[in-house]
Amino acid sequence: MKDMNSKTDMYRANAIRVLCRIIDGTLLTQIERYLKQAIVDKNPVVASASLVSGIHLAQANPEIVKRWSNEVQEAVQSRAPLVQFHGLALLHQIRQNDRLAVSKLVSSLTRGSVRSPLAQCLLIRYTSQVMCESSMNTQNGDRPFFDFLESSLRHKAEMVALEAARKITEMDVTSRELAPAITLLQLYLSSSKPVLRFAAVRTLNKVARTRPLAVTNCNVDLESLLSDQNRSIATLAITTLLKTGNESSVDRLIKQITLFMSDIADEFKIVVVEAIRSLCLKFPLKYRSMLNFLSNSLREEGGFEYKKAIVDSIVTLVSEIPDAKEIGLLHLCEFIEDCEFTYLSSQILHFLGNEGPRTSDPSRYIRYIYNRVILENATVRASAVSTLAKFGALVDTLKPQIFVLLQRCLFDTEDEVRGS
């Protein structure tokens, strides 16, 4: 309390920060006057500390903090960037439950009184929120404040332009309204700053999920990012290309992916595998090259989650694309010949038991399945026995052979296997 009246600004700022963490509502009313004075203090460090304290205090004592509106509004007009940023954040928190008040706040600030880039980013978020709420309540298609978002694309601060582009791409806009944002993001793809390249490609990746045609003009720039030293950027670039590519570009993209798969971590490989699966479902005629890619990936080093993602993808493709069934099942059979994960072996054996008997030549899978009975642990052996039984029950021509194999399993040392 004594430091709050200190002549040293740093002591005052630190005292305010500490007090906001330890006081309750009763004590807050006693020091409220000091906090309100600090909000309009000439020193930006003191003012900012008081505003941030207000943001924290508003969660437990919203009614008290609401009384500071006049001082906070004055802080929003401050020339200090952080004071304006924290002031806007607190003012929005005070008014957040009053939709009309938030709309008026946005309306007054979009006329150009915000100088701080951080505050401008906040204002863009609040503006898009108001626009979304307005579009839900009005059916005439009017979008107030869209001109403000579009003008923010030309802001000299890169963070502001990126935030505006991100919000425009998240809205339900026309192709003409989306074009300036895509153009800006395309420009940032060739930036010398890694953070700008990452932000741009991540945003384009999200757009490609719902509007792939809007991103196709960026494909050349995205391909140049495949060799980026930052593997996160390269991974996002390839997954974006997979979403925007056409059937004729699939084989070329697969070759490019193969070149850098060994250089990235498993978490990024999983993202690529999921993108490959989506692309194959989009262009089912290209299943051969994609299944070959997934099969080759199974033979490479990798953890459980990565291998599981590949197996799940092959299972999905086999289930959704009839022509891919036999090739996909053979790839899975080859994988369980040298699989270190019990769960995946059991999963594949179960899938083989469901799909294998319905193929043109079910007998080709029996060898792979029975090898698991001979070479694997008890859990996998039990799964293999159950799979053999399914083949015997569904394929009459294989019953005599499978009966002999199952008889051998009766002498297994594990109850789990004998009981199967």
Looking at residue 17, its amino acid is: R
Q: What is the pLDDT of residues 216-266, one digit of tens each?
A: 889 889 988 988 888 889 889 988 988 887 777 778 888 888 877 777 888
| Averaged pLDDT score across all residues of the chain | 87
Per-residue confidence band for 141, with pLDDT thresholds at 50, 70 and 90: low
Cβ contact 153:165 at 8 Å: yes
In angstroms, rounded to a whole number, what is the distance separating the alpha carbons of residues 216 and 241? 8
pLDDT score at 410:
75
Q: What is the pLDDT of residues 83-107, one digit of tens each?
A: 999 999 999 999 998 889 988 989 8
Q: What do you get for the CA distance between the two ends of the chain, in Å?
A: 75
Instruction: Say how many C-beta atoms besides its own lie within 10 A of residue 62's C-beta.
Output: 13
Looking at residue 341, its amino acid is: F
Q: Which long-range contacts (CB under 8 A, 24 or more apart) does 189-194 make?
A: 189/218, 189/221, 189/222, 189/224, 189/225, 190/221, 190/224, 193/158, 194/230, 194/233
More confident call, 419 vs 62:
62
pLDDT score at 27:
84
Q: How many CA atoms lie within 13 A of 264 on its CB side?
A: 27
- 3-class SS at 61? coil
- pTM of the full predicted structure? 0.78
